[in-house]
Amino acid sequence: MTQRIGVIDYGGGNLRNVLNVLAFLGHEGKLVGDPDDLKGIDRLIFPGVGSFGDCTEELDRRRLREPLIDWVKSDRPYFGICLGYQVLFERSSESPGVAGLGVLPGEVVRFSPDPGLKVPHMGWNQVVPVERSHSIWQDTPDPLYLYFVHSYYPVPADSSIVASTTEYGERFASSILSGNTFAGQFHPERSQEAGLRLIGNFLERGVS
Protein backbone atom coordinates (compact mmCIF):
# COMPACT_ATOMS: atom_id res chain seq x y z
CA MET A 1 0.00 0.00 0.00
CA THR A 2 1.38 3.40 -1.00
CA GLN A 3 1.92 5.72 1.92
CA ARG A 4 0.83 9.33 1.73
CA ILE A 5 3.53 11.41 3.38
CA GLY A 6 3.00 15.05 4.27
CA VAL A 7 5.88 17.50 4.58
CA ILE A 8 5.02 20.63 6.56
CA ASP A 9 5.56 23.80 4.55
CA TYR A 10 5.73 26.87 6.78
CA GLY A 11 7.67 28.96 4.29
CA GLY A 12 11.09 27.71 5.40
CA GLY A 13 12.97 24.52 6.10
CA ASN A 14 14.82 22.01 3.96
CA LEU A 15 11.71 21.12 1.99
CA ARG A 16 13.43 20.22 -1.26
CA ASN A 17 16.06 18.11 0.51
CA VAL A 18 13.39 16.15 2.37
CA LEU A 19 11.28 15.65 -0.76
CA ASN A 20 14.38 14.42 -2.60
CA VAL A 21 15.15 11.93 0.20
CA LEU A 22 11.57 10.63 0.09
CA ALA A 23 11.79 10.20 -3.68
CA PHE A 24 15.11 8.37 -3.32
CA LEU A 25 13.46 6.02 -0.83
CA GLY A 26 10.61 5.38 -3.25
CA HIS A 27 7.97 7.61 -1.67
CA GLU A 28 6.22 10.74 -2.86
CA GLY A 29 5.93 13.59 -0.39
CA LYS A 30 3.14 16.15 -0.44
CA LEU A 31 3.70 19.68 0.85
CA VAL A 32 1.28 20.65 3.62
CA GLY A 33 0.71 24.40 3.71
CA ASP A 34 -2.83 24.57 5.12
CA PRO A 35 -5.23 22.30 7.04
CA ASP A 36 -6.88 20.92 3.89
CA ASP A 37 -3.53 19.51 2.75
CA LEU A 38 -3.55 17.12 5.72
CA LYS A 39 -6.50 15.19 4.31
CA GLY A 40 -5.48 11.67 3.37
CA ILE A 41 -1.98 11.97 4.87
CA ASP A 42 -0.65 8.86 6.66
CA ARG A 43 2.66 10.14 8.03
CA LEU A 44 3.92 13.64 8.70
CA ILE A 45 7.44 15.06 8.49
CA PHE A 46 8.19 18.55 9.84
CA PRO A 47 11.60 19.78 8.59
CA GLY A 48 12.80 22.99 10.16
CA VAL A 49 15.32 25.73 9.55
CA GLY A 50 14.86 29.23 10.95
CA SER A 51 13.72 30.82 14.19
CA PHE A 52 11.20 29.47 16.68
CA GLY A 53 9.15 32.67 16.63
CA ASP A 54 9.00 33.05 12.85
CA CYS A 55 8.03 29.38 12.50
CA THR A 56 5.17 29.46 15.00
CA GLU A 57 3.91 32.77 13.59
CA GLU A 58 3.76 31.23 10.13
CA LEU A 59 2.02 28.11 11.46
CA ASP A 60 -0.61 30.39 12.99
CA ARG A 61 -0.98 32.37 9.77
CA ARG A 62 -1.51 29.17 7.82
CA ARG A 63 -3.95 27.84 10.47
CA LEU A 64 -1.73 24.81 11.07
CA ARG A 65 -1.18 25.12 14.81
CA GLU A 66 -4.33 23.32 15.99
CA PRO A 67 -4.24 20.63 13.27
CA LEU A 68 -0.63 19.84 14.21
CA ILE A 69 -1.48 19.68 17.91
CA ASP A 70 -4.40 17.36 17.11
CA TRP A 71 -2.15 15.20 14.90
CA VAL A 72 0.45 14.61 17.61
CA LYS A 73 -2.08 14.24 20.43
CA SER A 74 -3.96 11.69 18.30
CA ASP A 75 -0.69 9.71 18.19
CA ARG A 76 -0.40 9.77 14.43
CA PRO A 77 3.11 9.20 12.97
CA TYR A 78 5.19 12.39 13.19
CA PHE A 79 8.89 12.94 12.41
CA GLY A 80 10.26 16.32 13.52
CA ILE A 81 13.58 17.64 12.24
CA CYS A 82 15.50 20.41 14.04
CA LEU A 83 12.90 23.21 14.37
CA GLY A 84 10.23 20.56 13.82
CA TYR A 85 11.55 19.07 17.08
CA GLN A 86 11.75 22.35 18.99
CA VAL A 87 8.22 23.58 18.22
CA LEU A 88 6.73 20.52 19.96
CA PHE A 89 7.64 22.12 23.31
CA GLU A 90 6.04 24.93 25.26
CA ARG A 91 8.49 27.79 24.72
CA SER A 92 11.97 28.80 23.57
CA SER A 93 14.48 31.28 24.95
CA GLU A 94 15.08 32.23 21.31
CA SER A 95 11.63 33.85 21.16
CA PRO A 96 10.49 34.93 24.66
CA GLY A 97 6.73 35.11 25.09
CA VAL A 98 6.02 33.00 22.00
CA ALA A 99 4.11 29.78 22.59
CA GLY A 100 5.22 26.57 20.94
CA LEU A 101 2.78 23.80 20.11
CA GLY A 102 3.10 22.65 23.73
CA VAL A 103 2.34 18.99 23.04
CA LEU A 104 5.43 18.07 25.05
CA PRO A 105 6.31 19.72 28.38
CA GLY A 106 9.63 21.50 28.42
CA GLU A 107 11.51 24.41 26.92
CA VAL A 108 14.12 25.12 24.28
CA VAL A 109 17.36 26.73 25.52
CA ARG A 110 20.58 28.09 24.04
CA PHE A 111 23.96 26.47 24.53
CA SER A 112 25.68 27.89 27.61
CA PRO A 113 28.42 30.45 26.86
CA ASP A 114 31.82 28.75 26.65
CA PRO A 115 34.95 30.38 25.17
CA GLY A 116 35.95 27.06 23.62
CA LEU A 117 32.50 26.27 22.20
CA LYS A 118 31.43 27.51 18.80
CA VAL A 119 27.75 28.35 18.48
CA PRO A 120 25.95 27.34 16.38
CA HIS A 121 26.82 23.70 16.86
CA MET A 122 27.54 22.77 13.26
CA GLY A 123 28.77 19.52 11.74
CA TRP A 124 28.82 15.81 12.47
CA ASN A 125 28.42 14.60 16.03
CA GLN A 126 27.70 11.31 17.75
CA VAL A 127 24.13 10.43 18.60
CA VAL A 128 23.86 7.88 21.42
CA PRO A 129 20.51 6.04 21.44
CA VAL A 130 19.01 5.34 24.87
CA GLU A 131 17.48 2.08 23.61
CA ARG A 132 19.57 0.81 20.70
CA SER A 133 17.13 -2.03 19.96
CA HIS A 134 14.24 0.31 19.14
CA SER A 135 13.00 0.03 15.55
CA ILE A 136 13.80 3.67 14.75
CA TRP A 137 17.54 2.91 15.16
CA GLN A 138 17.49 -0.44 13.37
CA ASP A 139 20.35 -0.95 10.88
CA THR A 140 21.87 2.48 11.61
CA PRO A 141 25.66 2.57 12.14
CA ASP A 142 27.07 2.01 15.62
CA PRO A 143 28.53 4.42 16.60
CA LEU A 144 25.99 6.70 14.94
CA TYR A 145 27.01 10.13 13.64
CA LEU A 146 24.49 12.62 12.27
CA TYR A 147 24.69 16.19 11.02
CA PHE A 148 23.71 19.17 13.22
CA VAL A 149 23.19 22.91 12.67
CA HIS A 150 21.68 24.67 15.70
CA SER A 151 22.19 27.09 18.58
CA TYR A 152 19.20 25.94 20.66
CA TYR A 153 18.02 22.55 21.88
CA PRO A 154 15.00 21.24 23.82
CA VAL A 155 15.09 20.24 27.47
CA PRO A 156 12.17 17.82 27.91
CA ALA A 157 10.49 17.98 31.33
CA ASP A 158 9.88 14.23 31.07
CA SER A 159 13.25 12.48 30.80
CA SER A 160 11.56 9.18 29.94
CA ILE A 161 10.87 10.40 26.37
CA VAL A 162 14.55 11.09 25.62
CA ALA A 163 15.54 8.74 22.77
CA SER A 164 19.16 9.81 22.33
CA THR A 165 21.76 12.13 23.74
CA THR A 166 24.66 14.07 22.23
CA GLU A 167 27.64 15.84 23.79
CA TYR A 168 28.50 19.41 22.85
CA GLY A 169 29.95 21.19 25.84
CA GLU A 170 27.14 19.51 27.74
CA ARG A 171 24.94 16.49 27.20
CA PHE A 172 21.59 17.31 25.60
CA ALA A 173 18.55 15.39 24.38
CA SER A 174 19.25 15.07 20.66
CA SER A 175 15.96 13.23 20.05
CA ILE A 176 12.74 12.11 21.71
CA LEU A 177 10.26 9.28 21.30
CA SER A 178 6.69 9.64 22.53
CA GLY A 179 4.11 7.25 21.14
CA ASN A 180 4.22 7.64 17.36
CA THR A 181 6.18 10.88 17.59
CA PHE A 182 9.90 10.87 16.87
CA ALA A 183 11.84 14.12 16.63
CA GLY A 184 15.50 15.04 16.65
CA GLN A 185 17.77 18.06 16.66
CA PHE A 186 19.91 16.60 13.86
CA HIS A 187 19.29 16.73 10.11
CA PRO A 188 18.86 13.19 8.76
CA GLU A 189 18.23 14.59 5.27
CA ARG A 190 21.83 15.87 5.34
CA SER A 191 23.34 12.84 7.10
CA GLN A 192 23.99 10.58 4.11
CA GLU A 193 23.33 6.83 4.51
CA ALA A 194 22.74 6.99 8.28
CA GLY A 195 20.08 9.65 7.84
CA LEU A 196 18.44 7.80 4.97
CA ARG A 197 18.18 4.70 7.16
CA LEU A 198 16.60 6.72 9.97
CA ILE A 199 13.93 8.21 7.72
CA GLY A 200 13.45 4.83 6.07
CA ASN A 201 12.83 3.23 9.46
CA PHE A 202 10.17 5.82 10.24
CA LEU A 203 8.42 5.14 6.93
CA GLU A 204 8.77 1.37 6.93
CA ARG A 205 8.59 0.37 10.58
CA GLY A 206 6.99 3.31 12.34
CA VAL A 207 7.89 4.51 15.79
CA SER A 208 5.81 2.68 18.41
* Angle between the N-to-C axes of helices 65-73 and 52-61, in degrees from 0 to 180, rounded to the nearest 10: 100
180-to-21, 50, 78, 103 alpha-carbon distances in Å = 21, 25, 6, 13
Determine the straight-line distance between the first and last CA of the chain, rounded to whole angstroms: 19
Q: Rounded to 5 degrees, what are φ and ψ at 136?
A: -65, -25
Task: Report how far residue 136's alpha carbon sits from residue 140's, in angstroms, rounded to the nearest whole number.
Answer: 9
Active site residues: 82, 187, 189
Which run of H or of E encompasses 17? helix 15-24
133: left (phi over 0), alpha (psi -120 to 50) or beta: alpha
Q: Are 188 and 174 in contact (CB under 8 A)?
A: no
DSSP SS3 for 196: helix
Bridge partners (DSSP) listed for residue 178: 181
